[in-house]
Structure 1
Amino acid sequence: MPAPQPAARDRTLAAAGLVTTYAFMLGFSDNYVRVVAAESGLWQFHLSRGLIAMALMLVLARLIGMKLRPKRLWAVAVRGGLQGFGVLIYFAAIAVLPVPVAAAGLFTAPIFVLLISALIFGERIGPVSILAVIMGFLGVLLVLGPSAFSGVSLVTTLLPVAGGLVYAFAMIATRRLCAEEEAGALVAAFFIALGLFGIIGLIVLQIWPLQPEPGPAGFVARGWVMPDLTYLAWMTMHAGVVALGTWFCTRAYLIADTGRVSVMEYVMLPAAAFWGYAIWGEVLGWQAWVGIALIAIAGGLITLAPKEAGAGLPAPQPLP
């Protein structure tokens, strides 16, 4: 019947607005991570972020009845640890790399999901998915090109792609281990994992201290730094923006087609580039832009192509 079509279009437009708002919110907050990274460390950052986010989630659980208790603790813990480790790598990268470049590495996760599904779980992938994998890795090579990273080491440039690989295992764990879990339990496990990673890193650096470089370059090697009001203000802003933005994106998945919303999430890349230019005056070269576009197209093909011989992906997860 033709009558419901305008309503469906309105819901898709509403979802697009929510995802765009989410992307610009995260692009803004992620670009300011280097302000925190100039004086504090990665491990303290994630401990602070995890504590603030869990406090917000406990309030939401009380106000709206969000369920935080997992059905299978070990499965949720494995999935939360993988997702937390992938995002930890991502934030290590954005302290020294342009945010859209780091985000492009994390958005390679659907490509890795296909490869892992084929190589480890024996799932057969079709020609469209194979084309998407080729395009995606060509995009990665272009993004990692020397014109985009003058003065940055190869190990540093590979960090976002490593984050995408770990995040892919988290996506697979979501489908294979946590299909029956509540969203609140999965998000809570993710933030708990971040907090635990932060504690472990701080303990290791307390026992075996390193001499960090000044500024954002020392983000990973820097241990505990006594937080001041500026740090607490930035961390509260970041956690609040992430929590609200993730709610916007989750709401978009509830009111529109999952595949379409997943493709909409790639607006995160130009949004991050916009804020990088507006705040820091960063301008990406054409090579990096072409690589980002290829990664986005590859992700869109994987998500929207007809499911080919069991190569279905898990429901996409908003980028925390």
Structure 2
Amino acid sequence: MISQDRTLAAAGFIALYAVVIGFTDNYVRVIAAEAGLWQFHLTRSALALTILAVAARVLRLRLRPVNWRAVTARSSIHGAAMLIYFGALAFLPVAQVAAGLFTAPIFVLVISRFVYGERIGPLRVLAVLVGFAGVLLVLGPEAMAGASLAAALPVAAGLLYGMGNIATRAWCAQESAGTLLAGFFAALGGMGALGLILLGLFPLAVPEGADGFVMRGLVLPSQGFWFWTFVQAAGSLFAVGMMIRAYQVATASRVSVFEYIILPASAFWGWLLWSEMLSPMAVVGMALIALAGATIALGARTSAPPVATT
């Protein structure tokens, strides 16, 4: 059976992912004001897995992994990336953290070329570089300020995120989207539970509000926490499912470029919800991001070789 990488379909999946995640992530600031990172991940994962279990029963989705080791490894890598990303937000500017995470496509290209031997044409390399330049323009010059060990953490998150994206196709091509969703949320939920246990045994002095997001242990949550965490769980379940599907239908080095769309999507929701305005530099950056994505999509339509599958 002969098929082609469905790059345009993957772009559509990523667009849905970005719009939903851009909305839900704008409300993490509300959750962080009263609860902690670990309780948030444990609660969100429990809600997401409950919704997924009901959906699997109704829609007859397969959740049992074909390869337990591969799913566990992929889930742990992606989960660790998200923990580092959210944890770094406690003591670094959002712009700097986001810039580090969006180094992932660079790592995807390097790993795809030198580990898996994938041929990477100059057009795709240029598209990733243009997209990353657009990211820096959107985030502003402060994104590259301050080199330190702490500043390297978001880049570590980018490395792990890129590795997880490659693992989705290289290790887990036979797994269903439901299986990978369950593994992802189970890993994050387990990490959240472990963090709460450690903070219960070794409590820390916790600052008020969002400053105490990482150090805060178990608290009695309000109705607002439950509501926005449920929105996060349902939204993340759908959005991550779309992202997983994208990486299953096209190569990681192509799909990763489309993830840049999450920046303009988040900026749009930030403007709509919090009246946050974009600078002219940010608008230029978004244009570069769109150009990078279009270049990858058009190049894939005209030159992508067929891939034999069984």
TM-score, normalised by the number of residues in structure 2? 0.76
**Equivalents in 2 of 1:211, 1:304: separation in Å?**
53
User: Pairwise CA RMSD of aligned residues?
Assistant: 4.3
Match of 1:34 in 2: 29
Q: Partner residue of 2:225?
A: 231
State how far apart, in whole Å, the 1-side matches of 2:174 and 2:248 are: 17
> Counterpart of 1:78?
73
**Aligned residue type for 2:175:** E
Residue of structure 1 equivalent to 2:171: 177
Contact persistence 1:101–1:143 (CA under 8 A) = no
Tell me the distance in 2 between the aligned counterparts of 1:254 and 1:69: 17
Quickly say closer, same or farther: Cα 1:139–1:217, change in 2 above 3 A.
farther
User: Alpha-carbon deviations, 1:240-293, whole Å to 9, x = none?
Assistant: 22234456677899999x999876654432121022223333334444555555
SS where residue 226 of structure 1 aligns? coil
Report matched runs for 1:43-62 at 5 Å: 43-62=38-57
Partner SS, residue 66 of structure 2: coil
Q: Within 5 A, what are the aligned runs for 1:188-207?
A: 188-207=182-201
Distance 1:153 1:34, change over 3 A: farther
Judged with a 3 Å threshold, the aligned counterparts in structure 2 of structure 1 residues 272 and 217 are, in CA distance, closer, same or farther, namely same
Q: Corresponding residue for 1:116?
A: 111
Instruction: Indicate if the aligned counterparts of 2:78 and 2:161 stay in contact, CA closer than 8 A.
Output: yes
What one-letter code is carried by the residue in structure 2 that aligns with 1:81? Answer: S
Deviation at 1:24, TM superposition (A): 3.1
Q: Is the 8 A contact 1:117 1:311 kept in 2?
A: no
Task: Give the aligned partner of residue 65 of structure 1.
Answer: 60
Moved more, 272-281 or 288-297: 288-297
Sequence identity (%): 51
How far 1:224 moved relative to its partner? 1.5
2:4 alignment counterpart: none
Give unpaired runs (5+ residues) of structure 2: 1-6
Please tell me whether the aligned partners of residues 104 and 292 of structure 1 are also in contact (alpha carbons under 8 angstroms): no
Q: Does 1:25 align with 2:20?
A: yes
- Could you say which residue in structure 2 is the equivalent of 1:187? 181
CA distance in 2, matches of 1:252, 1:121: 19
Residues paired across the two proteins, number:
299
CA distance in structure 2 between the aligned counterparts of 1:132 and 1:248, rounded to whole angstroms = 23
Task: State the distance in 2 between where 1:117 and 1:21 align.
Answer: 25
Cα distance, 1:247–1:146 mapped onto 2, change above 3 Å:
closer
Closer/same/farther in 2, CA of residues 74 and 303 from structure 1, 3 Å limit:
farther
Q: Distance in 2 between matches of 1:187 and 1:108?
A: 23
Comparing 231-240 with 60-69, greater Cα deviation is found at 231-240
User: How far does residue 182 in structure 1 lie from its aligned partner after superposition?
Assistant: 1.6
Q: Deviations over 1:81-117 (max 9, x none)?
A: 1111222333335667887876565444232111122
- Asked whether the 8 Å contact 1:101–1:288 carries over to 2, the reply is no
2:25 and 2:282 map into 1 onto residues whose CA distance is 19
One-letter amino acid matched to 1:127: P
Q: Whole-Å Cα distance in 1 between the matches of residues 286 and 150 of structure 2?
A: 18
CA distances 1:149-186 after superposition (whole Å, capped 9, x unpaired): 99x99666655443222111111212222111122111
Determine the C-alpha separation between the residues in 2 that align with 1:92 and 1:304.
37
Moved more, 101-110 or 234-243: 101-110
Q: Secondary structure at the match of 2:34?
A: coil
Q: Is the 8 A contact 2:49 2:185 kept in 1?
A: yes
Show structure 1 runs of 5+ residues with no match. 1-11, 313-320
Deviates more, 1:127-136 or 1:69-78: 127-136
CA pair 199-289 structure 1, distance change in 2 beyond 3 A: farther
Instruction: Report the CA distance between 1:206 and its aligned residue.
Output: 2.3
Tell me if the contact between 1:80 and 1:189 (Cα under 8 Å) persists in the aligned partners.
Answer: yes
User: Which amino acid in the other structure matches residue 73 of structure 2?
Assistant: V
Is it true that 1:242 corresponds to 2:236 in the alignment?
Answer: yes
Counterpart of 1:270, as a letter, is P
Moved more, 261-270 or 69-78: 261-270
2:263 aligned residue: 269
CA–CA separation in structure 2 for the residues paired with 1:146 and 1:263? 21
Quote the residue 1:89 is aligned against.
84
